[in-house]
Structure 1
């Protein structure tokens, strides 16, 4: 009997397992072959270049902001795309290609724009986008002898992670085997494109320093480094780094950007600061090699000796860095009047004294859309001076009239082409990663203060963070970094699917969602205009289309604060809905309202010399640039015919007057703003060499006066316009220890944990009350003085009470 060596016997189990695995793979391959097989080795049509985050790349006369795929024909014959497919999933036939041809040695670029990407007319596209750490395949289908189609893999490319900003993943030579991160070269030979080198690094991070900062710039072997200190993009003409740098506080240096006067109209009266503004050091560096390849820009901001400067203690700080031409070039700068304005003035097409509305076509800062977006690098330092965010993004000027103000507001856009499609959730306590943010100038306190008054109501508001902003190292003033309404905002605040939401701006434009879904909002507007809303059945059907409490909260807020530049079915309003119902709360598919653009509150545009803002009748009054007040404009005339609406409106208005806008509540919030005083004063001094706005103290005093007196004027106006006949009486809710329970009055839940609560209501409508017991307690009964229960009884948790005079209501709880 034959024997085997010990060494062979030891290896036998491994050999048997290997053989079994080989047989299994062979059997699988025979079965799998009818669906998929590799192309025989030869030069096929190949995937030559993949753009994961395009930075405005020129392709065939068009500017690409989307991902793209470049195909290359390395053969000597023309190849048709008919029957070929591109895919980024295991479904190799995801995107069939059209019947077009690629000639010998030719390139063809195809947009990978996803479902909603924009594709110029006449350009090819596929319905998916590209991302890091995924595989893109090019296949064709062939019919085999069994009569079934099998997928033949022509080429496949895996996109690695850690792609550099502005780089494509491409073959270093057309049709070659080696891939690298390169500068885009769509439609041209890859061997002519530059490589993307590793970014240089700084030995000292962005931070706040008490003294001068010494640092080194490190880069890859064989490279040289050029740097700038003015925010401009470094080139080979910039200073050459040759050793350590010592950075000093530059605040005493002359201003480069704050000294400009072309940031508003010639006759605006604006004067730049009369002494140098505070400054940080902005260091930017790029590595170059002998072949002309370069890295991306490394940027850092150094705040030196800021402990010795006023206006920054405990303040969040935001640094904006961009090449100066992006903002201040006469041709391309979005912050300045620009060459077109100068040419039009010289030609007599425009002249000093024209209103801003006549200049929008002649000024750079009124550019809108993609052509008005510029790249910017942002760094955010929280109140403890910790850098919590640093990333590239896009920046645009925002607003309408405010675009011609010297201190302009901005919109910030996170996009994959800048490196990230969202901002990390570090600015607010929402936990939301926003795709866009608003950076509102700090010139008006009221535009953000009102949000804090109604944050518990059923109308959406925007959270905000005050911060001191530096532009290319120069102090640019106090700003409010704010949430921007978006599908991500809705998903984060209301727990709905972002792709299941429709966001409509000014009742005419789809802000987020599919443009064709504007028809859904038009349907609501048609219903409001054509149906008899006095009919109870029709009104009940309307309540399935819109959240009436959200609408009324939005109306009451704007009326109370005397906002003269918004209409419920007009401008400066946002509405939203879920496309298909998800739940019985905000995701029920009904339209809801969002507070937006409150700049013209406090009766702007009216004769304030004759009637102070707090006495303005904003139910029917209106500004000089508007024809109708709220109650006279659609859809209020139709809604006012319905008694259920009138009751809900009156009770909600009084709820908000007694709670949201209660003077003691407003006064406490105004006192909390005192922390911003030093920050705002520093910002005011930056922009008001020739005063353009009121000081922080003047603005808080204006709000103080308005809210201290508003109720005594606006509540009688409510009675007049709604035909209320009963007296205005007090309702007092007795205090309830919070460990026992609480009381809900109509739409509010007053704090009864320590003291009684008193509000004023007209007797025309009964009020609703609900007792809410705490854990371990139960509700026993209601005790009511000078009021009559008209729905329910004293032992029901939910009741309605008719007020006959000043009324006291007590909810009695006891331990279980």
Structure 2
């Protein structure tokens, strides 16, 4: 039942005041489709009844769901006459006109509601308890002491409909839903002998007039069974939904959605249809499917093997822009508390470690619907190694109320919750904007962005200081990668549309870009791969000047222009390399190819047409890179191109980073531009260090810049490093101090070797390459010595005055949500690095509770979260050992027997697990570590090693 409230409700005002008889009379905490507000939303609501004999003015009264904050929301000057009702939406919108809207919502699982008079006295307080969707809970009679559930809610009127003191338990299904190949006999079991079960097969929730279950149901086709129990004297049970699927899913995920057919097809209410007044063709902007309507729906998610991933009640909307007009539409699914729960607790995308989702999109592939059904997913996936935000992708088969509905691409919904999950930001503290022919605010506001645009308009961006300021307001490298991707794609529906950008609302928050809805690229409209989309991107947009204002303006700066050209060249050489792109097309098309005949048969087209569309992708991939290189050369008047060949010696001793890309296989070739300097950095593998370059100057610097004048071959030469990468180890991290004990961030290093190491000129960084601390001259670490690096040595010294082995200050902070921290030697060889976190399996106590993050054993891998703990000292032990026990083993005896090496030592009382390290080098390779349980014996035998020469051993115990 849906109830409409007139926005012309008259609220009588008076100066009279009396609190006698005011009670909270009726509550609905899960308003799915009972009462719509003026925004056509369905918020929670409550009703206050005046059971007294005097008019009451509520001006200054408080309404709250928090006992510690009784005046959370304060009533305006509004009164209730005796025997009358006052209706309030608990929407969180905080309004008084045209309806009263409190600034909080009511949890459907239950919470207190408190009404307080202006003197602070509690007038009424209740505990709502669990209330099912579209069911209210109220007093009967009005103002009475007894509470009942109402299947027919009575807002702003007497609670005179049938009330129920409790709720029936739901029925059981045997067998549960899933994939089947033969007939199924389904048994439904009632919760009690007095209960009956009614069920439906059309997707609608069962009512008291639905089919009565009397005997097992024989199922031989795909169908959704929805059932609920009805028991005398109780409210009907919740709906239980199971899908029985008879279909070869071709190793794809299967999703079954079920809902009342009216939610989809009703002319006045259905979201999937044109409706009664769609507006003028072909736009149909007034069509039902263009409205921001949400309807209740049940979702079941089956893995390819038939196992049930999750099943939940949720909300659904039509998603997208112009693609809403297509026969097969995109659907956005929302988890909300009013349906059952406010998140989907499941790892939907196997390759992405996110296990909570507030919403997902079941996408019809947008403008690519008639083409490949994979264009946007394939294209955006090409840049998944950049910092540009992209949506995860997983193809699925959809059944809608038991009917086959074809392939839908499961995608993340790019909103504030996406940013919370993927970026770790506060979803309530961001600015999120979109280009839709103008700037559209999705979250927050556009003030910061407008200020950035104004600065660029009013300052000469060619001046270094002005450009450097811009880099503090936006992530220019993220922006370059984003622009390069869209230009390479030749996206014809960009940049006036399909642009999203965001920033955290923090003092150092910078704008970043989100790549989505790229379907208009890669030759969708048979735009040739020779299309000069770079030139198009640099043409001023008369209708929407901001569409490409940033790119046009920033290219006036020499530094940005060089970075733009080099980053673009990097992408063309690696991410957009024809071989890489072709492999990606083959991989994704191969996943959906077995399902495409059925999908085409359900909707439109043939499998032969699909293959033809794939050929468009392949041809674009093969030729686009060469075309874009020519476009870059012509646009920036460059002298030509050069082939850069890179190699390493000895093989696998290290890698080379060229500009932004670290190359994995050698020899390697890439194409860059004459007159545009490239940067090469030698990156040694563990156990090696950089020695020199061959073919480039200066030969002994691990990072060099080369201004290309022609083709060039460069080799990075590495040598064995006698100081292992594990010798200097990060052993303690203070990344989030307690409020009452804040020495600022600090990190501790330990020399886990028997050699003195000069760390002068070494470099410490977090995950940002421009966050740098360089160790000063004459910084030396003796064997087993520790040193502490502080963000603020003054603040540190106040709280740790006894620690004198400290250095500082570094001018950046550690993330409270976890991040990468790195130590480099003076030649920029990586010495130690790890990515800590504030979530399990990492210890959580160091996140603002006092303890620090403390390494358990410095000789074991410190990238392993199991080797870390919350510090045993309340605020850590900077400059002191963390509690490991490097006591000596007495009477160690080593002897050989044939090809075997025997180690024997005297027992150590506290020893239990020994770690035996072995290596052919005088430093120790943790990969050859063996845990050895010696609870009863203290010896170790290494078999069959003498024929390979010398071995080194280290023994450590816990």
Shorter-chain TM-score bucket reads 0.7 to 0.9
Alpha-carbon separation, structure 2, partners of 1:339 and 1:541: 54
Structure 2 partner of 1:259: none
What SS class does the counterpart of residue 268 from structure 2 fall into? Answer: coil
Check conservation: 1:169, 1:180, Cα contact below 8 A: yes
Map 1:629-708 onto structure 2 (within 5 A).
Answer: 633-673=548-588, 674-688=590-604, 695-708=609-622
Q: Post-superposition shift, 1:751? A: 1.1
Alpha-carbon separation, structure 1, partners of 2:452 and 2:615: 41
Q: Give me the TM-score of the superposition, normalised by structure 1.
A: 0.78
Matching of residue 338 in structure 1 with residue 252 in structure 2: no
Structure 2 partner of 1:146: none
What whole-Å deviation, never above 9, does each CA across 1:284-309 have from its counterpart, x for those lacking one? 223345679544432211013x3xx4
Check conservation: 1:318, 1:470, Cα contact below 8 A: yes
Candidates 449, 465, 479, aligned match of 1:521: 449
Check conservation: 2:648, 2:717, Cα contact below 8 A: no
Q: Post-superposition shift, 1:313? A: 2.5
What whole-Å deviation, never above 9, does each CA across 1:652-709 have from its counterpart, x for those lacking one? 1100000000112112222322132102332122212x56x97443333221111111
Alpha-carbon separation, structure 2, partners of 1:503 and 1:477: 32
What whole-Å deviation, never above 9, does each CA across 1:406-441 have from its counterpart, x for those lacking one? 122122222222222222233122315222211111
CA pair 795-724 structure 1, distance change in 2 beyond 3 A: same
What whole-Å deviation, never above 9, does each CA across 1:2-40 have from its counterpart, x for those lacking one? xxxxxxxxxxxxxxxxxxxxxxxxxxxxxxxxxxxxxxx
Candidates 385, 391, 395, aligned match of 2:306: 385
Structure 1 partner of 2:207: 235
Alpha-carbon separation, structure 2, partners of 1:112 and 1:735: 69
Structure 1 partner of 2:16: none
What SS class does the counterpart of residue 619 from structure 1 fall into? Answer: helix
Structure 1 partner of 2:31: 54
Structure 1 partner of 2:226: 284
Q: Post-superposition shift, 1:58? A: 2.6
Alpha-carbon separation, structure 2, partners of 1:455 and 1:536: 31
What whole-Å deviation, never above 9, does each CA across 1:387-407 have from its counterpart, x for those lacking one? 112112222222222122212
What SS class does the counterpart of residue 566 from structure 1 fall into? Answer: coil
Structure 2 partner of 1:433: 356
CA pair 709-495 structure 1, distance change in 2 beyond 3 A: same
Alpha-carbon separation, structure 2, partners of 1:707 and 1:67: 52
Matching of residue 751 in structure 1 with residue 664 in structure 2: yes
Structure 1 partner of 2:680: 769
What whole-Å deviation, never above 9, does each CA across 1:774-799 have from its counterpart, x for those lacking one? 44443333x131x4x4xxx4333332
| Equivalent residue pairs, number | 687
Check conservation: 2:362, 2:410, Cα contact below 8 A: yes
CA pair 469-194 structure 1, distance change in 2 beyond 3 A: farther
CA pair 592-749 structure 1, distance change in 2 beyond 3 A: same
Check conservation: 1:733, 1:758, Cα contact below 8 A: no
Q: Give me the TM-score of the superposition, normalised by structure 2.
A: 0.67
Alpha-carbon separation, structure 2, partners of 1:623 and 1:745: 27
Candidates 416, 422, 429, aligned match of 1:493: 422
Alpha-carbon separation, structure 2, partners of 1:765 and 1:485: 36
What SS class does the counterpart of residue 620 from structure 1 fall into? Answer: helix
Check conservation: 2:149, 2:163, Cα contact below 8 A: no
Structure 2 partner of 1:806: 711
CA pair 185-779 structure 1, distance change in 2 beyond 3 A: farther
Structure 2 partner of 1:38: none
Stretch moving more, 402-411 or 465-474: 402-411
Alpha-carbon separation, structure 1, partners of 2:667 and 2:37: 73
Matching of residue 218 in structure 1 with residue 189 in structure 2: yes
Check conservation: 1:315, 1:467, Cα contact below 8 A: yes
Q: Post-superposition shift, 1:519? A: 2.3
Structure 1 partner of 2:498: 572
**Misfit runs of 4+, over 6 Å:** 59-62, 622-632
Structure 1 partner of 2:180: 209
Candidates 118, 123, 141, aligned match of 1:154: 123
Stretch moving more, 294-303 or 627-636: 627-636
CA pair 194-472 structure 1, distance change in 2 beyond 3 A: farther
What SS class does the counterpart of residue 345 from structure 2 fall into? Answer: coil
Q: Post-superposition shift, 1:322? A: 1.3
What whole-Å deviation, never above 9, does each CA across 1:524-568 have from its counterpart, x for those lacking one? 33334443222222222211211111111111001111111111x
Candidates 510, 518, 531, aligned match of 1:598: 518
Structure 2 partner of 1:483: 412
RMSD value, Cα: 3.0
What whole-Å deviation, never above 9, does each CA across 1:751-809 have from its counterpart, x for those lacking one? 13xx322111112111112233444443333x131x4x4xxx43333321223332222
Check conservation: 1:684, 1:695, Cα contact below 8 A: no
What whole-Å deviation, never above 9, does each CA across 1:253-287 have from its counterpart, x for those lacking one? xxxxxxxxxxxxxxxxxxxxxxxxxxx11112233
Structure 2 partner of 1:71: 48
CA pair 784-179 structure 1, distance change in 2 beyond 3 A: farther
Alpha-carbon separation, structure 2, partners of 1:735 and 1:158: 73
CA pair 237-91 structure 1, distance change in 2 beyond 3 A: closer
The structure whose RCO (Cα within 8 Å, separation 6+) is larger is 1
Structure 2 unpaired stretches of 5+: 1-18, 724-958
Higher share of residues assigned helix: 1
CA pair 695-392 structure 1, distance change in 2 beyond 3 A: farther
Matching of residue 96 in structure 1 with residue 96 in structure 2: no
CA pair 571-328 structure 1, distance change in 2 beyond 3 A: same
